[in-house]
Amino acid sequence: MSKEIINVLMHKHSVNIILEIYKARDDIYAAVIAKNIGAVWTYTVGLIQKLIAAGLVNFEKVGVYKRLVLTQKGIEVAEKLDKIMSTLKS
């Protein structure tokens, strides 16, 4: 993994984006994630594009919308991040 993506992943909003997608029970979109993490849409989309470039997230076209899904690599990272966050909260 490149140093740039490691810096992106260790950012609070990036972690929250991955965890939002991981924990979503229904389809989830960039606008919903932006609202949930307290960031503006354009900033959120920029981070999502970096996560896509790193092979952690993909878009799936659903009608006129693009829902976000984790790749297998993204799922592995999300599981580890979720475990870390749970450990730190307890």
pLDDT of the chain along its 90 residues, tens only? 566 656 666 788 999 999 999 999 889 999 999 999 999 999 999 999 999 999 999 999 988 888 999 999 999 999 999 998 888 777
61 bridge partner residues? 66
C-alpha distance from residue 44 to each of 30, 67, 84, 86, 90 (Å):
7, 14, 22, 24, 28
**Model pTM?**
0.85
Please state, as a whole number, how many other Cβ atoms lie within 10 Å of the Cβ of residue 83.
Answer: 10
pLDDT of residue 84: 87
pLDDT of residue 56: 96
pLDDT of residue 89: 77
* Burial environment of residue 18 by CB neighbours within 10 A (0 to 12, 13 to 18, 19 or more): buried
